[in-house]
Structure 1
């Protein structure tokens, strides 16, 4: 029997609702595969901020450090600036635990109608690897003359040779997996950003030399955005900086049906610290409490968690259950054209375990 300690941060809005379904699925598949879970709930969210003036307590990272993984719903509130929630919770977790890989798959499953013209199931099957701890989100900079007409904001991107090489190497290793097509695309903007992005480009060229079996190309971020729409089938593994990866994965989620289908993992590949798994979608305050949020992204994130913990068979069963349910097309939330509730979809996934 395997037992895993999971720090759970349900967060805000629909995060609370979708994580509940993910926990139900993890519990059910755990019973089938002799995996037990010790879920430790942490009530850190915007309400915590309104009460305490911070997104989480000062010892929050110490509390989570001994966990095997972290399971996060979403953070964000209409009355809070996003930089407060981001810098108060998400970024400290990613940086402190050196979760330098953000892994986000985008797959067009059977039964999903893409907003693009005529793509067939699995025509779109890409894996975006986003650098997660430096780049444009490094929070290096500051203000001068804040509040005055002369207000200045300086925002610096940080690109280190070590940081670029390790994320690019991870992308090449993923491209070698048996289920990938042995191709890596680098996303850059070195024609305009002539310092940090040149560090990125040079790192990509160096790493690529060690993978002669992998085909490569490099695209400017604007061209990549266009090609994600006009020919997404050309992409296999895509590696980009913090900002560029963030932008592209939202496009990837929409062209494959819904943000409600987009999972992600914030990963420390060396396993020195807990990795964190979360759906890509936000807190969606407009549908909070209505019981119609799609839990599939949270469940697929739980599947990524299972795989990270070494339970590949259990992860396969969860993935197949979600794909089976989508293919049937009968029990789906409104974002996928259905009328089912969040909990109904969660229950249906559990019932479909082993049927895919």
Structure 2
């Protein structure tokens, strides 16, 4: 029996709704598989935890999370309770940094039954690989002086190791997909870091024969995601550029509520973390209409990560059969509840 131990953090807002729904789906997958079992340890870390304890997680939180095989996260943040910079740096970004989750992978594709806002989406299927640990989100810099003389300095940090690691991951993905990698750059406007990025991309590409490459400036690339998304296979981007592109990807899919992501540790010293792209959506909490697809698709990526690609394919196909038959939550034009969509997925998996 293959046991997969998950540290489960529902987090805030609709995370507390879509995570339990997704665990039911994972249990169904395990029952179908027969030789696999999920073991869950629940952690109530989040904004409510902060209000009670003054921190987003327990002092030994990272140690306890590190005893799992993977972390399954719902959503982090509720600005009405806790400022975003406290909630994100105290939980989500803390896990990403301390567990060395240096690569973030987010797919964007035409999803059966969910209408893209694009007039002709042309069956786009994109995988964005985002460097997840440094770049524009490096916490290097500071503020000085006061009043009209105040200045803020934010330093971008790009190491060759982390940059090349993200690019190599993108090339490996392209090797099992359609064989093309596009690099997101801005070397015509950012003087130091982006020419460096371009140089590392060219060097990395030389080690992957048979993979076609292209380099596009981020502004033109973001526009092209809207006008010609079908042109792209795997896109590799820095922390900020990848963040922007994947939100565009979610938008052209039809809703950020269906977009998944994986934060990957590649050195084997810490668990990886899986989370949907959507936020905590406090405006719809308790109404039963949260879209579970993003969290369940995230579970599919978790299955792939643990070597269960066949079960992952089955789950994705089942989700698309449900949405194709019109079982949709309001954010994608439907009238179904979260529970109704989830139960359709579970029922079809069992059949």
Q: Which TM class, normalised by the smaller chain length?
A: over 0.9
Q: Work out the CA distance in 2 between the residues paired with 1:234 and 1:27.
A: 37
> Taking structure 1 as the reference length, what is the TM-score of the superposition?
0.95
Q: Deviations over 1:71-114 (max 9, x none)?
A: 00001113233222221111111111111110100010222221
Q: How does 1:31-50 map to 2 (within 5 A)?
A: 31-34=31-34, 35-50=36-51
Q: Work out the CA distance in 2 between the residues paired with 1:61 and 1:136.
A: 25
Offset of residue 313 of structure 1: 1.8
Q: Work out the CA distance in 2 between the residues paired with 1:24 and 1:320.
A: 17
What residue is the counterpart of 2:157 in the other structure?
Answer: 158
Once the two structures are overlaid, the 10-residue window that deviates more, 263-272 or 274-283, is: 263-272
1:8 partner SS? strand
Offset of residue 118 of structure 1: 2.1
Q: Work out the CA distance in 1 between the residues paired with 2:55 and 2:20.
A: 24
Q: Work out the CA distance in 2 between the residues paired with 1:201 and 1:54.
A: 40
Equivalent position to 2:235, from 235, 238, 245: 238
Equivalent position to 1:312, from 309, 324, 347: 309
Q: Work out the CA distance in 2 between the residues paired with 1:137 and 1:87.
A: 11
What residue is the counterpart of 2:336 in the other structure?
Answer: 340
Q: Deviations over 1:24-77 (max 9, x none)?
A: 100111111132111111111011122222211222111111100000000111
1:83 partner SS? helix
1:251 partner SS? helix
Equivalent position to 1:251, from 248, 253, 258: 248
What residue is the counterpart of 2:23 in the other structure?
Answer: 23
Q: Deviations over 1:233-287 (max 9, x none)?
A: 1111000001100000011011011112101000113333100001100011111
Q: Work out the CA distance in 2 between the residues paired with 1:173 and 1:272.
A: 21
Q: Deviations over 1:120-177 (max 9, x none)?
A: 4xx210000001111111111112136x443222111110011110100000000000
What residue is the counterpart of 1:172 in the other structure?
Answer: 171
- Contact kept, 8 Å, 2:55 with 2:90, in 1: the verdict is yes
1:222 partner SS? helix
Q: Work out the CA distance in 1 between the residues paired with 2:136 and 2:121.
A: 33
Moved over 6 A (4+): none
- Contact kept, 8 Å, 1:190 with 1:198, in 2: the verdict is yes
Offset of residue 354 of structure 1: 6.0
> Taking structure 2 as the reference length, what is the TM-score of the superposition?
0.96
